[in-house]
Amino acid sequence: MARTRYAPDRGLTVRMTVTMFLLGLVFVAFVAAIIGILTAVHASGAAIVLVALIFGGGSAIASLFYSDKIALSAAGARVVTPQDEPELHAIVDRLCALADMDKPRVAIAPTRMPNAFATGRNSKNSVLCVTEGLMYHSNLTPEEKEGVLAHELSHVAHKDVQVMTVASLLAIVAGLLVRFAFYSELFGGGRRSSNNNQGGIPVVLIIMAVSVVVYAVSFLLIRVLSRYRELAADRSGALLTGQPSALASALTKVSQGMSRIPNEDLRAAEPLNAFYFAPAMKLTRGGGGGDGGGGGKSLSQLFSTHPSLEKRLEQLAKIQRELGQPTAGGLSAGPGD
């Protein structure tokens, strides 16, 4: 964790550490399984694994070092100066002073969707992006905007891009192995490699099966880790500003604001959902971030990068009680109340 005044959350830290440990175990088991397979088959399998490792490692490194440029390009955002956006820069300056952290570049994305994101491998190579919808077309107060930006700057302070890049490496390699093994089998590589193993299963099919399982497990663990980090950012942002109610109000308004955004605009923004303050999707009755009801809600949350709106509001209400501040009825209630 970076040395800032953002408050750590020991409970969430423990859970995130356990999740990373489980990902490490999956990675060790994956490597052991692949090595075991390759010792008994033709070297073509080793070539598939080597290529997947090279491509996977390369894409992870590129993602880590160029995440800010990639995200800005995907959002169509432009970096702005204090002269361009004095209000936005004033909020960022105050928060960075409170958190004792380097100020990131500040950008504006030309969309009416109310949202924000921050990315970058460290505070010196990061960018904070706010949409025009959040700055100009929402009814957020200055305190609520400050809460949103405090949440996003927490991701930078805690080096979440580094953590998620490392966590995603296993899933990237496993996913590439599935594709490479499939095409190798499709074009006859698996049949050739099975000549030394008459009557056995082609090596590429074995690698595919192992990789699919590893990808599925690592994908779910990464989603769990992502939800923990969003809760940690909520907590850190609320404690930094001392106004959890403002962050909760902003979260509710931003989530509800998605309902007024055309579906095609939300679909265009979905690739950045993991970065956004709130996921770009319609708010449904009784749920946040696209949750449905019953089993659909549980399944949706299982694959979601963000906790449900109710869970986030519940945590913020708890923080407000811990700070000795009175809680309004709307803080712990769902958005439909």
What residues act catalytically?
152
Strands across the sheet with 126-131, in order?
A: 78-79, 105-109, 126-131, 116-120
Task: Determine how many CB atoms are found less than 10 A away from the CB of residue 172.
Answer: 21
Beta 105-109 vs 116-120: how paired, if at all? unpaired
**Dihedral sign, Cα of residue 281, residue 229, residue 323, residue 123:** negative
Q: Which two tokens stand for residue 82?
A: 């204090």
The 3-state secondary structure of the chain, one letter per residue:
CCCCCCCCCHHHHHHHHHHHHHHHHHHHHHHHHHHHHHCCCCCHHHHHHHHHHHHHHHHHHHHHHHHHHHHHHHHCCEECCCCCCHHHHHHHHHHHHHHCCCCCEEEEECCCCCCEEEEECCHHHEEEEEEHHHHHCCCCCHHHHHHHHHHHHHHHHCCHHHHHHHHHHHHHHHHHHHHHHHHHHHCCHHHHHHHHCCCCCCHHHHHHHHHHHHHHHHHHHHHHHHHHHHHHHHHHHHHHHCCHHHHHHHHHHHHHHHHHCCHHHHHHHHHHCCCCCCCCCCCCCCCCCCCCCHHHHHHHHHHCCCCCHHHHHHHHHHHHHHCCCCCCHHHHCCCCC
Spatial separation of the C-alpha atoms in residues 107 and 166, rounded to whole Å: 26
